[in-house]
Amino acid sequence: MSSNLAIKLRTGTQKAHTAAENVGFTKCFVKGVVDRACFAKFLGNLYCVYSTLENALQTHSEHPLIKPLYFKQLNRQANLIQDLEFYYGKNWQNFISASPATQIYVDRVKAVAATEPVLLLGHAYTRYMGDLSGGQMFQKLAQSALKLVDYQGTSFYYFEHIPDKAAFKDQYRKALNALPVDDITADKIVKEANDSFQFNMMMAKDLDSYLIQAIGQELFNSLTNTQTPGSTELAHHSK
């Protein structure tokens, strides 16, 4: 049985992806404008999300529908800790906290883990496929804007156990397509992925005010006043 879940997820989240690309913080990032304190805050929020998501996935790793999509090499928690130590030092935990939108995102992940764990797949897809795609560009942008060496401070984007990202994404999509889920469950997973995109947008929006403080309203406006076409809506996007 083929659920075509990867295809459903891609087409079902294209619009959300375009919207996510058009959040101020993200648009500035793409244009090479990254503020160190703001980026560190972003990683702190991501830590809250990934620690929750990865604990939940591990708890349910033997679930018949999660097991085929459970890949330890995706885990980001340890890499995020390395980055947070880099920015904040050994006591990084005293310096990070979930922004209001991040907290809502984290609460949602916990709720689906407790009630309908298969929906965790919508969250895993949105984050990990994104990290393996556009995320790779963000690593280069952050490294150059913040004058960082190698993956110091950007190890979040470094998948040391996934040397061939395109091959891995193929494997992940094949596993999604082969997942024996019925249409109703597939639709629910796509809906959850869309919600995950929204949470990610809100989380990025929480950072806008810090970025504006750092770079000034005028530059922020000039970098964010045009609509960017969606990377996953283009006719030819696979790489």
Is 98 a binder of ligand HEM (CB under 6 A)? no
**Residue ranges in 173-202 that form contacts with ligand HEM under rule CB under 6 A:** 197, 200
Is 226 a binder of ligand HEM (CB under 6 A)? no
Is 24 a binder of ligand HEM (CB under 6 A)? no
Is 108 a binder of ligand HEM (CB under 6 A)? no
Query: According to CB under 6 A, which one of 10, 76, 108, 123 is a site residue for ligand HEM?
Result: 10
Is 17 a binder of ligand HEM (CB under 6 A)? yes
- What is the DSSP annotation of the chain? ----HHHHHHHHTHHHHHHHHTSHHHHHHHTT---HHHHHHHHHHHHHHHHHHHHHHHHTTTSTTTGGG--GGG--HHHHHHHHHHHH-TTGGGT----HHHHHHHHHHHHHHHH-GGGHHHHHIIIIIHHHTHHHHHHHHHHHHTT--TTTTTGGG--TT-S-HHHHHHHHHHHHHH----HHHHHHHHHHHHHHHHHHHHHHHHHHHHHHHHH-HHHHHHHHSSPPPPTTTSS----
Query: According to CB under 6 A, which one of 3, 5, 8, 9 is a site residue for ligand HEM?
Result: 9
Site string for ligand HEM, 128-157 (x = CB under 6 A): -xx--xx--x--------------------
Tell me how far, at minimum, the Cβ of 50 lies from ligand HEM, in Å.
Answer: 12
Chain residues that interact with ligand HEM, rule: CB under 6 A: 9-10, 17, 20-21, 26, 30, 125-127, 129-130, 133-134, 137, 169, 197, 200, 231-232, 237-239
